[in-house]
């Protein structure tokens, strides 16, 4: 044991030079497996969105001062506009107040067993010239302890990559998709290495690392995405064999496209995100059609050949939430988004609380959530987006639970058998 201790002390010293390891990580010398049974137990989780990666629709108050000028639309322009000192002051307050130990305890009390925590590359491997600020990892370290105390498992999700992998504001930088250009892939791998190294001693809690959130397949070289996944897998494995490695479906068919990928890669998990609101056809569906579409996913999920979680989904049947489609942008549902037509009113859904939703909205959301739970548990499980928002009732799990629209306990049903 003395020799092993010396090796780990040396490794820790080297990694500390990279600025990515805490002073005294707790290595799990006796662990040789992922600390959650993804083969037999269902993932029942929630995302902690808007915490370490800003999204204007989750916390509109952070962006309100630019609601008219629209010059700040994401974390990149937020930090660039404010400058590092002011941005760090504001964001440090946000990081330390948006999610707390009390949230982790409440999540566990609701019967959940996982949290998915989005983090940007800039928190773990800053790139010269970027305006982003750091300090998130000190809070993330605390969060791992909170999860351990609450009995929750953690999936760490690299939510933003250099250059932006999708051009969405939730990648950190809205606009063009420049990931895969220049050194961006190697920089992403560095971020993953640093993340895995930092938490290699916490695999009793951190059971999965997601290589990249929502790479926009249609705008990327998909062979390059697969190559990145293979290289990212090996990067995580170089730190520990006790992490499951999660990959997003890159908006390709999660069955026909991805079943052939990953032969020989152990503890590989596919992540698919299922929303029915981001096209005119989807928001035009009736409540029963939303339910039918969700139910149809169940057998397809069950037919995949690797672990698969629906890592993002919602109770929303509309895109009404304020700034959901981007700061200052309207909704397809009420026709206020460009090139859309009116389907229905966003009253009560643009901003508000679950308690203030109409009786019909409450019934439809409860029905839709129940159907999705039944469908997504036909394979590995699900992680709801998101735990809390400032004012988006269709998306706010904490408020949906309090309002009786998210089942408690999780397997209770007001409408059993919707999926047959």
- The one catalytic residue among 55, 214, 370, 377: 214
| Sign for the pseudo-dihedral over CA of 322, 134, 388, 208 | positive
Cα angle, residue 125 at apex, residues 249 and 7 outer, rounded to 5°: 100
**C-alpha 16: how far from its chain's center?**
27
Based on the residue annotation, tell me whether 65 is a catalytic residue of this protein.
no
Residue 90 is classified by DSSP as H
Start-to-end C-alpha separation, the chain: 56
**Three-state secondary structure string covering 304-341:** CCCEEEEEECCCCCCCCCCCCCCCCCCCCCECCCCCCC
Based on the residue annotation, tell me whether 214 is a catalytic residue of this protein.
yes
Is-contact 62 94, C-beta < 8 A? yes
* Tokens read off for 153: 């498992």
Strand partners, 43: 381
Rounded to whole angstroms, how far apart are CA atoms 293 and 317? 12
- The one catalytic residue among 65, 75, 289, 312: 312
DSSP 400-412: HHHTT-S-SSTT-
- Strand ranges inside 133-276, DSSP E: 153-160, 206-210, 244-248, 268-273
Residues 195-231, buried b or exposed e (16+ Cβ, 10 A)? bbbbbbbbbbbbbbbbbbbbbbbebbeeeebbebbee
**Residue 177 contacts by C-beta under 8 Å, 6 or more apart in sequence?**
163, 164, 165, 166, 167, 216, 219, 220
Rounded to whole angstroms, how far apart are CA atoms 76 and 88? 13
State residue 116 phi and psi, 5-degree precision: -105, 125
Catalytic residues: 214, 312
């Amino acid at each position: 044991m003395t020799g092993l201790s010396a090796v780990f002390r040396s490794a820790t010293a080297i990694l500390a030079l990279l600025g990515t390891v805490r002073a005294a990580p707790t290595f799990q010398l006796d662990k040789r497996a992922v600390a959650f049974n993804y083969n037999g137990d269902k993932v029942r989780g929630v995302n902690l969105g808007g915490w370490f990666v800003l999204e204007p629709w989750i916390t509109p108050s952070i962006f309100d001062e630019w609601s008219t000028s629209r010059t700040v639309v994401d974390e990149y322009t937020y930090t660039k506009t404010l400058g590092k000192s002011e941005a760090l002051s504001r964001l440090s307050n946000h990081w330390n107040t948006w999610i707390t130990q009390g949230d982790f305890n409440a999540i566990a009390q609701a019967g959940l067993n996982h949290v998915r925590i989005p983090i940007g590359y800039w928190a773990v491997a800053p790139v010269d010239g970027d305006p982003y600020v750091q300090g998130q990892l000190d809070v993330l370290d605390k969060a791992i302890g909170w999860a351990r105390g609450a009995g929750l498992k953690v999936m760490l999700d690299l939510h933003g990559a250099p250059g932006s992998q999708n051009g969405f504001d939730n990648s950190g930088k809205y606009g063009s998709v420049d990931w895969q250009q220049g050194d961006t892939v190697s920089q992403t791998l560095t971020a993953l290495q640093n993340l895995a190294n930092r938490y290699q001693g916490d695999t009793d809690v951190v059971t999965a690392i997601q290589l990249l959130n929502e790479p926009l397949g249609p705008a990327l070289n998909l062979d390059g995405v697969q190559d990145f996944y293979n290289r990212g897998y090996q990067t995580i494995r170089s730190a520990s064999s006790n992490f499951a490695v999660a990959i997003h479906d890159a908006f390709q068919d999660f069955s026909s496209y991805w079943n052939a990928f990953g032969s020989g890669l152990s503890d590989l998990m596919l992540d698919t995100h299922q929303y029915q609101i981001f096209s005119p056809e989807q928001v035009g569906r009736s409540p029963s059609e939303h339910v039918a579409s969700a139910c149809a996913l169940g057998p397809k999920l069950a037919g995949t050949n690797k672990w698969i979680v629906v890592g993002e989904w919602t109770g929303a049947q509309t895109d009404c939430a304020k700034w959901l489609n981007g700061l200052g942008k309207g909704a397809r549902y009420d026709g206020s988004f460009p090139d859309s037509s009116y389907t229905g009113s966003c009253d009560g859904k643009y901003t508000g609380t679950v308690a203030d939703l109409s009786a019909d909205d409450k019934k439809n959301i409860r029905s839709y959530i129940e159907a999705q739970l039944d469908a997504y548990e036909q394979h590995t499980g699900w992680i709801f987006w998101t735990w809390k928002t400032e004012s988006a009732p269709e998306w706010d799990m904490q408020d949906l639970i309090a309002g009786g629209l998210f089942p408690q306990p999780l397997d209770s049903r007001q409408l059993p058998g919707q999926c047959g």
